[in-house]
Amino acid sequence: MSSMRRKELEHIDKVLAEEKIVVFSPYEDEIYSEIEKCQNCSLCLTFCPVFEATGEFYPGPRGIADELSRDVREFWRASSIVYMCTLCGRCQERCPVNVPIPEVVMLLRSKIFVQRPDLVPEGLKVLLENVSRYGYIFEPMNPEEREESLRGRLERIGLPLRGDPPLRSGLVAYFPGCQAETRLLEVKEAGKLVLEAFDVDYGIPEKWKCCGLPVRLIGDSAMADELQRSFLEEMERMNVTDVVVTCAGCASELKSATKRLGSGIRVRHLVELLFEEVGVETISRKARVSDKVKVTLHEPCHLSRHIGRYTIDYAEEILRALPNVDYVGMRGADECCGAGGLLKFHNPFVSATIRNKKLEKISRSGAEVVVAPCPLCSVNISEGAARKRVSVGVDDLAVFLARRIYSE
């Protein structure tokens, strides 16, 4: 580029900055052109869980297109819509012109975070502080409390407590995720036992941090990029080629991070690893015969729509392979549980309304236990079941599996 041209561009940038005019990057421009395809048909509203829960007060995905059509530079006008979104992705699936609505929502959140931080819900800013301070999205318990809680939980479900095997060069890295590290502690242990039972040579990365998804959901894409870049670099340094994840959200986010950063590391959810590497026959053979139980599957949005529906088939096949597990289908299995998009952390009321609708569907399936291959969904659904006195067992898939596979 000639120095004349460079000077010219610098001048243009300066004037734009003075005039407070925001320039789009090519990626942003591409996403904006996508939403311009919206035909205003409103089909998205029919499939939007937030719209179902709130009624006409939530203008839904269509509303985003509507707001942006007035003046794209005033993108922040859509802030109340995009922060209420659960990112479940049903709208995109149903959209006749296939507008990538979740991507639009993510982009708008990140732009709002930078240019109108005052519009970011307060409840989410707290979570962001957690990540800076502890590396996890939730505040961790102190070590003694954590161990006590963990022992209690494991005792209740009859699983042993093992140490974390350190990650050595070339092993499969097990990424437990914040929910399993700080809240639903047994998921991390169950994940370890399942991997161990199927002779997967794995280790847990020493200083892993949040996968970046919640950070990105809040809008801080710079921090999310940094978290993901440093994690993948560390994995590359350790000659890791495979990462296994028990959380649907972490799995989908890390998967897209590898794509974004051009990393060759293969990130898979536990169900993918089990189905592809271990196989249902082996799972079936290894599993203990336990009491007969009627089970249904909750399909986390981050597996079914963000990674792909095949993961759900994997999970279903794995459940069907277990002896004495009577698998029943559920209408609306792929609908959001209400915890998506961090909605639960700044609008618990709407989130709970969505959850209650999900619980109705779970009850209608007639299952005794609902299994979710995601600790975030599991916690959310079991909380709802307890509060609404719905008599259904809720298990994370890793825990459900470990209890049927682990023997002393």
Partner 1 sequence: MIETEILVIGGGVAGLLAATKATDEKLEVTVIDKGSGASYQSSGVIDVMGCPLGEATLKPIEGIAQVIECSPSHPYSVISSERNVTNVIKDAIRYLTSMASNRGVEFKGEIERNVVLLNTIGSFKLTCFYQSTMDRGVLHKLEGASLLVTGFKGLVGFNARFCSSSFKHFASKFNIELRKTSSTELSLPSLREFNLTIIELARMMDEDDFRKDLAKKLETEIAVNDVSHVALPTLGLKKPYENMRIFEEETGTSVFELVSPPPSVPAQRLMEALEEEAIERGVRIFRGYKAVGFEGEGRSIKSVTLASGEKRFPAKAKAYILATGKFIGGGIVEERDKVKETVFNLPLYDEKGEPLKRQNISRLLAKSPFPREGHPLMGCGVKVNAQMKPVVNDEVAYDNLFAAGSIISGYNYVREKSGMGVAAVTGYIAGMNAATHVEGG
Q: Binding residues for partner 1, per CB under 8 A? A: 39-43, 45-46, 51, 55-57, 59, 62-63, 66, 93-96, 98, 304-311, 313, 331, 334
Closest CA to 54 of 352, 363, 398: 352
Give the residue with the Cβ less far from partner 1, 96 or 166. Answer: 96
Q: Please state the φ and ψ torsions of residue 313, each to the nearest 5 degrees.
A: -60, -40
Nearest-angstrom CA–CA distance, 213 and 216: 5
Give the residue with the Cβ less far from partner 1, 167 or 372. Answer: 372
Question: CA dist 118 to 76, 104, 124, 364, Å?
Answer: 10, 20, 12, 42
Give the residue with the Cβ less far from partner 1, 197 or 337. Answer: 337
Minimum distance of partner 1 from residue 118's CB (angstroms): 24
- Take residue 345 and report the two structure tokens written for it: 């952390």
Give the residue with the Cβ less far from partner 1, 91 or 124. Answer: 91
Minimum distance of partner 1 from residue 310's CB (angstroms): 4
Minimum distance of partner 1 from residue 98's CB (angstroms): 8
User: CA quadruple 211, 216, 221, 223: dihedral positive or negative?
Assistant: negative
Give the residue with the Cβ less far from partner 1, 114 or 328. Answer: 328
- Take residue 31 and report the two structure tokens written for it: 């996403």
Minimum distance of partner 1 from residue 92's CB (angstroms): 8
**Spatial contact of 397 and 372, defined as CB atoms under 8 Å apart:** yes
Nearest-angstrom CA–CA distance, 176 and 184: 10
Give the residue with the Cβ less far from partner 1, 44 or 180. Answer: 44
**Spatial contact of 173 and 244, defined as CB atoms under 8 Å apart:** yes
Q: Which residues sit opposite 369 in a β-bridge?
A: 295, 393
**Spatial contact of 291 and 158, defined as CB atoms under 8 Å apart:** no
Minimum distance of partner 1 from residue 233's CB (angstroms): 23
